[in-house]
Structure 1
């Protein structure tokens, strides 16, 4: 179906056909792992993340797991509890097949450690850890596919899993990316036109991988529907402070919209549990799309087949990831 560009110039449409303030299609599920205290599966466009929460539990097993390094392709980042508060431990595993280059990341990879620290500190600031003294909350995140907005997807998936585990928190911790694109075409830039382009730069939200490689961008995490910033990560050079302010404002608006989508998924899951459905542990929270209404998703939200499709796909990929992890451990033992 061709895009309707009558009210919006074709030059202002992004690579995937979205406008500057449109989110990619989101699909969210809760209770994807029956044996875990809390679990979730989240898709933001082609970025796919699975999260498993263990705890709150007494110190012991998770402490030994952290000393062992967490295994797989990621280590563990911990926010130590102070004054008897619970300790939050975050482990991120990036599958080798999650990106095009199929790069295998080790547990001490610098990028993985940075993501773990950022997610861990953000969650620790939002959770009511004082209610669980001398205990541990373990959050394991598995990156199954990468197509931009990875840190935002990690925050959102962890929030859903923690809600599923019943861990008390102040509000939803949601995140969204934002970038800045010059409004002038490349042929018109240069000299005074370049300065004018910086003033009239267009902010973009929910960037994909291609946009992240070409534009300055940042990731903003806020608490609930408020503008209270919990985490702000900007790894690229922003030419002008005014563009940075516009990017942050656009990201905050995107966070509010993401929060509404996650809240819709949680409420729908709660209604099914109260109705006596989904108590066996299978994920049954349907998808939420890029539009503001259920009809914009392009799928039947009440269809059980559509609700179970992401879960089955995620479980197959997770099994494949665990096999690769076990194979890597076996090779390391043989070398020793």
Structure 2
């Protein structure tokens, strides 16, 4: 695919978006209420992730008992998540790295000291992937942890940015991520504090600031979408109790 097919001279991307536009976002909370303490589904474009949270609960082994809650994260990819029917295994290096990044990120965001000697198990399943996989997992995990009633400092939202020459492209799809260098940005709340920064390829320092600035703005928009869904669900639960 040529570079002009990714970003045209008219300023349009292959899917019709402009450089600073997010894909269609859809999220749901408390989607698996009978089988989990917390659950959520997030769709960002054609990417879709389901997160299930169990806990806080007693650890399976005493070796995991600590003075604060232990966070365990696992990521699995459905075989039908892409058009290429490749076999995904649980010990895939990329999935292990993603699980470690998620665990490190949310160990700082969740007030684990309020639940000592317990374990929080987060299981993420990738139903469909079309770019922005890590950011989609982060947003889904945030909502699932909130649904489980776990105390957090604030929402953790994440978004990816790809770079076409000097032009940052917000929330890239799979084609854009494959062809271009990209960076995943995560922030806490509505601040400019970056809690996660992952580069998929080498990137010059002079090209990084505009990508970070656009990524932070995208994260703030996603935070508003998630907060709206949480408030909608809370109002619905409140109305059902009043009846």
Residue 207 (str. 1) matches residue 172 (str. 2): yes
Deviations 1:101-155 (A, max 9, x none): 1221212110110000001111111000000000000000000000000000000
Q: CA distance change for structure 1 residues 14 and 90 in 2, over 3 Å: closer, same or farther?
A: same
Aligned residue for 1:52?
A: 52
Q: Conserved in 2, the CA contact under 8 Å of 1:81 and 1:88?
A: no
Larger strand share, 1 or 2: 2
| Root-mean-square deviation (Å) | 1.9
Aligned residue for 2:89?
A: 106
CA–CA separation in structure 1 for the residues paired with 2:82 and 2:10: 29
Report matched runs for 1:51-200 at 5 Å. 51-60=51-60, 63=61, 84-182=67-165
Aligned residue for 1:225?
A: 190
CA–CA separation in structure 1 for the residues paired with 2:22 and 2:235: 26
Q: Conserved in 1, the CA contact under 8 Å of 2:59 and 2:65?
A: no
Report matched runs for 1:313-324 at 5 Å. none
Residue 264 (str. 1) matches residue 228 (str. 2): yes
Aligned residue for 1:216?
A: 181
Q: SS state of the match for residue 49, structure 1?
A: strand
CA–CA separation in structure 2 for the residues paired with 1:28 and 1:10: 33
Deviation at 1:81, TM superposition (A): 7.5
Report matched runs for 1:281-300 at 5 Å. none
Residue 275 (str. 1) matches residue 242 (str. 2): no
Residue 37 (str. 1) matches residue 37 (str. 2): yes
Q: SS state of the match for residue 177, structure 1?
A: strand
Deviation at 1:27, TM superposition (A): 0.8
Report matched runs for 1:236-247 at 5 Å. 236-238=201-203, 240-247=204-211
CA–CA separation in structure 1 for the residues paired with 2:33 and 2:186: 29
Q: SS state of the match for residue 92, structure 1?
A: strand
Q: Conserved in 1, the CA contact under 8 Å of 2:161 and 2:168?
A: yes
The number of residue pairs the alignment matches comes to: 234
Aligned residue for 2:22?
A: 23
Deviation at 1:11, TM superposition (A): 2.1
CA–CA separation in structure 2 for the residues paired with 1:264 and 1:243: 33
CA–CA separation in structure 1 for the residues paired with 2:135 and 2:196: 10
- Using the size of structure 1 for normalisation, the TM-score is 0.67
Deviation at 1:228, TM superposition (A): 1.3
Larger helix share, 1 or 2: 1
- Using the size of structure 2 for normalisation, the TM-score is 0.92
CA–CA separation in structure 2 for the residues paired with 1:222 and 1:178: 14
Q: Mark the structure with the bigger radius of gyration.
A: 1
Moved over 4 A (4+): none
**5+ residue gaps, structure 1:** 1-8, 68-79, 183-200, 280-336
